[in-house]
Amino acid sequence: MQKINAIRGMNDLLPKDAAAWSYLERTLADLTRAYGYEQIRTPIVESTALFQRGIGEVTDIVEKEMYSFEDRLNGEQLTLRPEGTAAVVRATIEHNLIYDGPKRLWYTGPMFRHERPQRGRYRQFHQFGIEALGFAGPDIDAEIILMGQRLWDELGLQGVRLELNSLGEAAERAAHRQALVDYFTQHQAQLDEDSQRRLQTNPLRILDSKNPAMQTLIEGAPKLLEFLGSESLSHFEAVQTLLKANNIPFKINPRLVRGLDYYNLTVFEWTTEALGAQGTIAGGGRYDPLMERMGGKSAPACGWAMGMERVLDLMAISKSIPDSEPVCDVYVLHQGGDTLVQAMIAAEALRSAGIDVILHCPPDGQSASFKSQMKKADASGAQLALIIGPDELARDEAQLKNLRGTGEQHAVPLSGLLVAVVDALVDS
Ligand code: HAM
């Protein structure tokens, strides 16, 4: 029969990588606790309109990357979430989460974008994100950036750079946009096909073009920072002052525009050269207009999200993934029949006391030799082997073998098994 494979760009997370993912998830949980963030979980499927309105119609994500479909039963237009911010804002409005003041929220989970798969770019990928809702000042912009920096430090990531920009407010962007349209219209002949189209729809995105032939043209384009008014400038300067006071290095990149349309004021990305073309490990910024755009009461907000696959890749390159921990404490060996019954009872008793146990289950359902079971016990990473054969059972005993270090083995009474195992684990 022909086998069925996973969808292109959607990956299995295999057991060999599970320890690294768990380590990252634990580090993230500690980080969110350290800054007072609460977890939120939103559905993977949302109304298509949520992302069209939230992310913006004229973005790559909405124009060409969304997994959208019609619900066959009721005709609703649905989409697999391509990011988390729009849904967090929806949930905040729907459940009135900030009625009594601002909230710091975090989330993690799979996101879906129909992009061309390559290293670090997948169609199902995982994000960890934070959203600080209801805070207007530059202090929170700085705090969420500090949080990111702390995370990279905790994870031992090397060569991560922070790029910062301010997108100002709508009126400032409109003035800049007009100047851009004038500039690019004057040089229309040098624009590639994509940029010609963007000139009509979203000229700001021309600045994002990676086309080498257009870089000099883009370099000479009017810069948004030159159009910022005093309030936007002072917000931007306050963020920078706080970052400098906390020794966070950053570079201002006036061309940083981000690929989602909800941002204003501060935007930023963390990038690395170590991952090749997909070097942005995280990005975010302030999105004060979004709450109102989604039908809620106007409220300021900012946040960022990181690509977990990219961060794990960089952790592997930085050699900062700790060696995997043993998957269990005790591996139980037996010879089937009555010895299996006793082995299973012993394993359950140990688990009830919080000890992690693997009970040998022969793949063919037949009992295997102790020699081959011992090989499995060794490979399992367990600290101890508990051996219950017919001879041991006849004496109401088991053999306890230390699989690491000394390799010492001795008989223990079944009645005193728990104490013996705990003692041996403490000693090992
Ligand atoms: P984003 O820049 O679109 O922002 O995505 C955040 C991160 O997700 C990227 O920096 C990258 O590491 C990862 N990522 C994006 N697409 C892929 C992909 N196809 N494969 C693997 N990783 C990917 C957002 O999504 C915003 N919601 C961030 C935010 C939160 N802004 C404010 N709050």
Range 319-343 average pLDDT: 88
- Cα-to-centroid distance, 23 and ligand 1 (Å): 21
The encoded tokens of residue 37 equal: 């963030």
pLDDT at 208: 78
Burial code (b: 16+ CB inside 10 Å, e: under 16) for 186-215 equals eeeeebeeebeebbeebbbbbbbbeeeebe
pLDDT at 175: 95
Residue 8 has pLDDT above 90, yes or no: yes
Instruction: Give pLDDT tens digits for 102-145.
Output: 999 999 999 999 999 999 999 999 999 999 999 999 999 999 99
Following DSSP, what letter does each residue of 207-237 receive, concatenated? GG---GGGHHHHHTSPPGGGG--HHHHHHHH
Range 66-86 average pLDDT: 98
- Cα-to-centroid distance, 177 and ligand 1 (Å): 25
pLDDT at 324: 65
Range 303-318 average pLDDT: 96
Note the pTM of the prediction, 2 decimals.
0.88
Which residue has tokens 């295997």? 368
- Cα-to-centroid distance, 77 and ligand 1 (Å): 23
pLDDT at 326: 61
- Cα-to-centroid distance, 27 and ligand 1 (Å): 19
One-letter amino acid identity for 358? Answer: I
Residue 65 has pLDDT above 90, yes or no: yes
pLDDT at 183: 95
Regarding the beta carbon of 300 and ligand 1, being less than 6 Å apart is answered no
The encoded tokens of residue 65 equal: 């990357």
Regarding the beta carbon of 279 and ligand 1, being less than 6 Å apart is answered no
Residue 327 has pLDDT above 80, yes or no: no
- Cα-to-centroid distance, 282 and ligand 1 (Å): 6
- Cα-to-centroid distance, 280 and ligand 1 (Å): 8
Per the CB < 8 A criterion, the answer to whether 108 and 126 are in contact is yes
pLDDT at 366: 79
Regarding the beta carbon of 283 and ligand 1, being less than 6 Å apart is answered yes
Regarding the beta carbon of 282 and ligand 1, being less than 6 Å apart is answered yes
Alpha-carbon distances of 381 from 175, 301, 357, 408, 425, rounded to whole Å: 63, 46, 11, 16, 13
Report which ligand 1 atom has the smallest distance to the Cα of 84. 27
Which residue has tokens 């054969």? 389
Per the CB < 8 A criterion, the answer to whether 81 and 66 are in contact is no
Residue 231 has pLDDT above 80, yes or no: yes
Instruction: Give pLDDT tens digits for 345-375.
Output: 999 999 999 999 999 998 887 778 999 999 9
Report which ligand 1 atom has the smallest distance to the Cα of 120. 21
Regarding the beta carbon of 108 and ligand 1, being less than 6 Å apart is answered no
How far apart are alpha carbons 19 and 323 in whole angstroms? 8
Mean pLDDT of the chain: 94
Regarding the beta carbon of 37 and ligand 1, being less than 6 Å apart is answered no
CA 6 to chain CA centroid, Å, is 21
Q: How many helices (H) and strands (E) does the chain have?
A: 15, 16
**pLDDT band with cut points at 50, 70 and 90 for residue 406:** confident
Regarding the beta carbon of 320 and ligand 1, being less than 6 Å apart is answered no
Report which ligand 1 atom has the smallest distance to the Cα of 311. 12
Instruction: Give pLDDT tens digits for 152-211.
Output: 999 999 899 999 999 999 999 999 989 999 999 999 999 999 899 989 888 888 987 889
Higher pLDDT, 146 or 428: 146
For ligand 1, atom 25, the nearest C-alpha belongs to 83
For ligand 1, atom 20, the nearest C-alpha belongs to 121
Regarding the beta carbon of 82 and ligand 1, being less than 6 Å apart is answered no
Higher pLDDT, 177 or 398: 398
Per the CB < 8 A criterion, the answer to whether 84 and 42 are in contact is yes
Range 206-231 average pLDDT: 92
Which residue has tokens 């949302």? 46
Which residue has tokens 């600080």? 132
Alpha-carbon distances of 44 from 68, 80, 217, 248, 264, rounded to whole Å: 12, 6, 41, 35, 26
Regarding the beta carbon of 125 and ligand 1, being less than 6 Å apart is answered yes
Regarding the beta carbon of 266 and ligand 1, being less than 6 Å apart is answered no
